[in-house]
Chain A
């Protein structure tokens, strides 16, 4: 890793942390729950990016696997919250039409 590349990755890591702080501000002060949901989702994406950069900074590129796991977990959490909003239950299929008898509140 050339020194320029190292400093470039360090700078991007710090900028990602700054954007995480911005997302946190929106998450704390967001007027509606949808603002907060969007902030959490974006925060998770920032975490994935930070992990990718950080693994290369400390010289362990296999940490990218963890970043992949984070992306999946972030998706699961967001889907769970959205289902909670829409149906007030978690045992609902993702496809429309499977759950017509349940009468979702959409």
Chain B
């Protein structure tokens, strides 16, 4: 750390910035526990927006500005709207889940977290020149982007030019996913209500033959009917 301190020409704030990072992470932990413990889904949606804002600020402090842009746009903007419009179709409160049904999920989470902590030991040190990201083709991209593609930002060049087809496929996937979500949610407030006129005969969601079948006692999903 002393090397970093002396290398900077202006007063360096490595330790205070570390303290800022730690306090941001502490806020994240508090928000995450609150999301788990709360029952009002309104408050949970708002808390998710707060979580996204704080984590994006933390990404900025980690120098991952593009990730912070994405997190702010998707997490705080789009997903708040999507969660709210999903709440238009579902309940406003969540009921407590009994403890014995939470044990399986808790086990999975603990195992996954332990695996991640175990993998941290294999990560290269911060700024290590011999790390895989710095020693193989990455340096070629860094050296040749300026003359081959003439885009100043290397990340943009890799995403939009070197891996252009890959990015195109991702865009297609995201577009179809967004289309499906919009069709499911029905942002105009008409989701779950439909009406058709085959041969001049009006069929609505209430009078459709499927509605009477769903009311039959052998239906195995009575909650779906109650929510519409």
Contacts and interface: CB of A to CB of B under 8 A. Distances in A.
Interface in B36-76: 38, 40, 42-43, 45-47, 49-50, 53-54, 56-57, 60-61, 63, 65, 68-69, 72-73, 76
Interface in A46-83: 47, 50-51, 54-55, 57-60, 62-63, 66, 69-70, 72-74, 76-77, 80-81
Given A66-B60, A66-B69, A47 B80 contact: no
Contacts of A69: 69, 72-73
A96 to B, nearest CB: 18
Interface residues of A, number: 44
Contacts of A27: 34, 43, 46-47, 50
A73 B72 contact: yes
Nearest to A33: B42
A91 B68 CA distance: 28
Interface of A: 1, 3, 6, 10, 13-14, 17, 20-21, 24, 27-28, 33, 36-37, 40, 43-44, 47, 50-51, 54-55, 57-60, 62-63, 66, 69-70, 72-74, 76-77, 80-81, 84, 88-91
A70 B72 contact: yes
Given A69-B72, A70-B53, A73-B76, A10 B16 contact: yes
Nearest to B74: A73
B30 A24 contact: yes
B46 A36 contact: yes
Interface residues on B, range: 35 or more
B60 A63 contact: yes
Given A24-B31, A80-B80, A89 B88 contact: yes
B77 A91 contact: no
Given A17-B20, A21-B27, A66-B68, 18 more contacts: A28-B34, A44-B53, A47-B53, A51-B60, A54-B57, A54-B61, A58-B13, A66-B69, A73-B72, A73-B77, A76-B77, A76-B81, A77-B76, A77-B80, A81-B46, A90-B81, A90-B84, A91-B187
A24 B27 contact: yes
B23 interface: yes
A87 to B, nearest CB: 8
B95 interface: no
B17 A57 contact: yes
B57 A51 contact: yes
A64 B42 CA distance: 30
Given A17-B23, A28-B34, A77 B49 contact: yes
Contact of A70 (B42, B76, B189): B76
A36 B187 CA distance: 24
A33 B92 CA distance: 12
Contact of A84 (B38, B40, B76, B84): B84
19 contacts: A17-B23, A24-B50, A36-B43, A51-B57, A54-B20, A60-B63, A62-B65, A66-B60, A69-B72, A69-B73, A70-B53, A73-B73, A73-B77, A76-B80, A80-B84, A84-B84, A84-B88, A88-B88, A90-B88
